[in-house]
Structure 1
Amino acid sequence: MSHPAAPGPTEPASNQPAPTLAVRAVLFDMDGTLVDSTAIVEQVWLEFAERYGLDYNEILRTSHGVQAGDTVRRYAPAGADIESLTAELGEMERARTDGVIALPGAEALLEALPADAIALVTSADRILADIRMRAAGLTMPATTVTAEAVTRGKPHPEGYLKAAALLGAEPADVVVFEDAPAGIAAARAAGMRTVVVGDAGGELEPGMWRIPDYSAVTVTAVKDDDGGHLITLTL
């Protein structure tokens, strides 16, 4: 089934119409995209950096959206037990939920979308994803691709491609909501249109858009002739 071509990249001026995307599936990152957990993430990486005398700002610059184990492997001192360190950091993150909130409009958007046409694709493991989504008051999508479900984390496209396949959608018929450079790179490598949430994603390219949050996003969804959904998102 063919769909209208997507408009080009835009951060529209106030007098321009909002971009409209026609898709068959919607994929979401979690941290920074649906859930604001910035304070906890930064606190955990600060403790890690201070313990080993590492450059905290450099770790933050490269760790957002990446699996924790990949960051530990990159920065831990030689001879460190990577698995134990990663497990320890995971336990620290799971125990801290103060200040975890949903981004504005996230709950309403998730509820408005067809449940069988959305997925969560996160670098967190399933336990942490459950904890953070619950702390933010958000319902976990039935389809999830967490850290345990992939062999290569973001920026590799494996997670997004797997989620699209689970939903029965072709990459060209998918839109990804992301906030971090690693996740944006993964979505783009998967051949998916990408909506950058917030201002941390760098420059926009063709097939990319930017929103501050979901407050102004509207959605309509209808069943198509194939039994799937044709979803129209207005940004």
Structure 2
Amino acid sequence: MSVELRAVLFDMDGTLVDTEGMWWEACVAVAAELGLELSEAEIDHVLGRAAEHVAAHLLRRAPSSPAPSSPVPDALSPPAPDARPVPADARPEPADARLTEVGVRLIEAFAERIAEGVTPLPGAIRLLDDLGAAGMPVALVSASPRQIVDMVLRTIGAERFALVVAAEDTVRAKPLPDPYLKAAAALGLDPAVCVAVEDSPTGLAAAHAAGCRVVAVSDAMPVPYDVLIVDSLERVDLPLLRRLAGGRTSVG
């Protein structure tokens, strides 16, 4: 179905600014404080995720996590005949107080790194300014908390965005569609007339589930649905976004 582009919705970390490495470093540091070594196999639990999700993931793995509500066999005790290993993601959620504590620590560690300065990714500022000059509404849809978003906006300019959706603004975070649905609703638009620009599988899933057309800024990411994949925002402009909204997914 061909539609007219009415707004562009941008992810922030890893899409507009080079901060994903900072977030990963912050998560690695906090994991180490909990006695854990974060591996690349856990990237999907870290990149593009809200702090609460990462905190819960770390606490499920941490040796000091509160005991689950149902008994878990001691490592030295013989297992029950039908006992099976409990996957980390299937274990009970940690206690709320501990979850909050680790979530706050993650944001603190991230903010420490953001305070040293962030770098806009190639093509980001030019694209934002071109959209602004054309009168195209632009929104920021981030999994980061407002504290972090506000710090980044000092670099990329809050005036470039008609609205901002941060982690606190929805009950459910990416990869669920709520942040993109909220942004489209706040603009008074159907998500189908919006193009979302994302860089992580988590964000792409959220934008796709919301019903947006999607640009994936990535040079190596398998995507299970129809999106436009580019290796840099330098290859994106308003005519391309309009073609995408109209149902065409080629760069040329």
Q: Same fold (TM over 0.5)?
A: yes
TM bin (shorter chain): 0.7 to 0.9
Hey, what does 1:83 align to over in structure 2? Answer: 100
Q: Give 3-state SS (helix, strand or coil) of 1:187's partner.
A: helix
Alpha-carbon offset, residue 49 of structure 1: 2.0
* Range with bigger deviation, 107-116 or 151-160: 107-116
Hey, what does 1:224 align to over in structure 2? Answer: none
Following the alignment from structure 1 to structure 2, what is the Cα–Cα distance between the partners of residues 173 and 204? 21
Q: How does 1:23-172 map to 2 (within 5 A)?
A: 23-57=5-39, 58-76=41-59, 77=62, 78-79=65-66, 81-97=98-114, 98=116, 100-114=118-132, 117-135=137-155, 141-172=161-192
CA RMSD, Structure 1 to Structure 2 (Å): 2.5
Give the percent of matched residue pairs that are identical in Structure 1 and Structure 2: 36
Hey, what does 2:238 align to over in structure 1? Answer: 219
Larger radius of gyration: 2
Hey, what does 2:75 align to over in structure 1? Answer: none
User: Cα–Cα, structure 1 residues 87 and 140, in superposed 2: closer, same or farther, change >3 Å?
Assistant: farther
The structure with the greater share of residues assigned to helix is: 2
Q: Give 3-state SS (helix, strand or coil) of 2:215's partner.
A: strand
2:55 maps to a residue whose letter is V
Hey, what does 1:178 align to over in structure 2? Answer: 198
Confirm or deny: 8 A CA contact 1:121 1:146 kept in the other structure. yes
Confirm or deny: 8 A CA contact 1:25 1:231 kept in the other structure. no
Following the alignment from structure 1 to structure 2, what is the Cα–Cα distance between the partners of residues 209 and 116? 20
Q: Give 3-state SS (helix, strand or coil) of 1:113's partner.
A: helix
Confirm or deny: 8 A CA contact 2:118 2:152 kept in the other structure. yes
Give TM-score scaled by structure 1 length: 0.79
Give TM-score scaled by structure 2 length: 0.74
User: Cα–Cα, structure 1 residues 83 and 200, in superposed 2: closer, same or farther, change >3 Å?
Assistant: farther
Alpha-carbon offset, residue 117 of structure 1: 1.4
Q: Give 3-state SS (helix, strand or coil) of 2:234's partner.
A: coil
In structure 2, stretches of 5+ residues that fail to align are 67-94, 245-249
Alpha-carbon offset, residue 51 of structure 1: 2.0
Following the alignment from structure 1 to structure 2, what is the Cα–Cα distance between the partners of residues 138 and 180? 23
Following the alignment from structure 1 to structure 2, what is the Cα–Cα distance between the partners of residues 54 and 60? 15
The structure with the greater share of residues assigned to strand is: 1
- C-alpha deviations, 1:101-134, integer Å up to 9, x for none? 1111100111111466111010111110111232
Following the alignment from structure 2 to structure 1, what is the Cα–Cα distance between the partners of residues 161 and 198? 16
Q: Give 3-state SS (helix, strand or coil) of 2:238's partner.
A: strand
Q: Give 3-state SS (helix, strand or coil) of 1:102's partner.
A: coil
